[in-house]
Amino acid sequence: MKIAIGNDHAAGELKPVIVDCIKALGHEVIDIGVAPGEAVDYPIPGEKVGRLVASKEADLGVLICGTGVGISLAANKVKGIRAAVCSDTATARLVREHNDANVISIGARIVGSELAKDIVTTFLTTDFSGEERHQRRIDLISSIEENFGNS
């Protein structure tokens, strides 16, 4: 799979650890983040990763900022993106199984590097369950996205 990764300055140290983890799992990395010591406003990489995933240039996305929240909010503005902030492996598994999340977001100031690797590994090795109840709910979310402002 092709995995897009993006980060802001708060995650400059964690990103190389996550890139190595993704590559060790056998995936190709599309790195649009910044290096340690470089600065960028988190909406920029959030949107870029969202667009790469939405356009199918990347299969899934990984975002990292201080808390994981701001960058995920930016990604979620891209049509078709379901980005979820995860601080534990159970959430990473469930957002894939139940919500078919296509982008994960991690807080570099919230989780350590070993847990971050476990979260990313869980996310990338878990598939959507395909259960009707979960698909129905994803369809409802997509309907909101399609119809917002049209009422």
Instruction: Kindly list the catalytic residues.
Output: 65, 98
- Collapse the DSSP code of 138 into the 3-class scheme (helix H, G, I; strand E, B; otherwise coil) and give the result: helix
Packing angle of the helix pair 89-97, 113-125 (nearest 10 deg): 20
CB atoms within 10 A of CB 87: 17
Which token pair is 122? 């869980």
User: For the residues of 71-107, what is the DSSP string, one character each?
Assistant: HHHHHTTSTT--EEE-SSHHHHHHHHHTT--SEEEEE
Q: Are 46 and 6 in contact (CB under 8 A)?
A: yes
The residue type of 56 is K
Which token pair is 133? 């109840």
Residue that is written with structure tokens 């996305």 in the block: 61
